[in-house]
Amino acid sequence: MKTMMNIKVDKDLKIKAQKVAKDLGLPMSIVINNYLREFVDEKRVVFDELLVPNKRTARILRQADKDYKEGKNLSPTFSNMQEAIDYLMKL
């Protein structure tokens, strides 16, 4: 049995998706049904687009990258777990 589903989609995204589907020779209903089937089977949503950190996180990441390049705030390497524990206990 088939049913109708009405959803709100960004206009530009809809146009681009329709073009890609057309170029592949697929109706949009096949594309949407495939994604919904994966969602139901896997019970997860996959976002492949790169996530953009918020301002605070971006600032922390920039500082961490700067520190790494300057060799600052880096822990030493350890030969075994006990060395790591001893190091952390001294902090």
DSSP secondary structure, 29-89, as one string? HHHHHHHHHHHHHH------SPP---HHHHHHHHHHHHHHHHT-S-PPP-SSHHHHHHHHH
Asked if 28 contacts 38 with a C-beta cutoff of 8 angstroms, the reply is: no
- Residues 6-23: tens digit of each pLDDT: 999 999 999 999 999 999
Tens digit of each residue's pLDDT (9 = 90 or more) over 58-73: 999 999 999 999 999 8
38 plus 59 within the same structural domain: no
Lookup: tokens for 70: 């300057």
Residue 5 forms part of a structural domain: no
User: Given this model, what pLDDT does residue 60 score?
Assistant: 96
Stated pTM of the model: 0.50
> Domain containing 64: what range?
55-90
Residue 4 lies in a domain: no
DSSP 8-state assignment for residue 25 = T
% pLDDT > 70, the chain: 100
Whether residue 72 is contained in a domain is answered as yes
Domain count, the chain: 2
pLDDT at 86 over 90: yes
Q: Is residue 50 part of a domain?
A: no
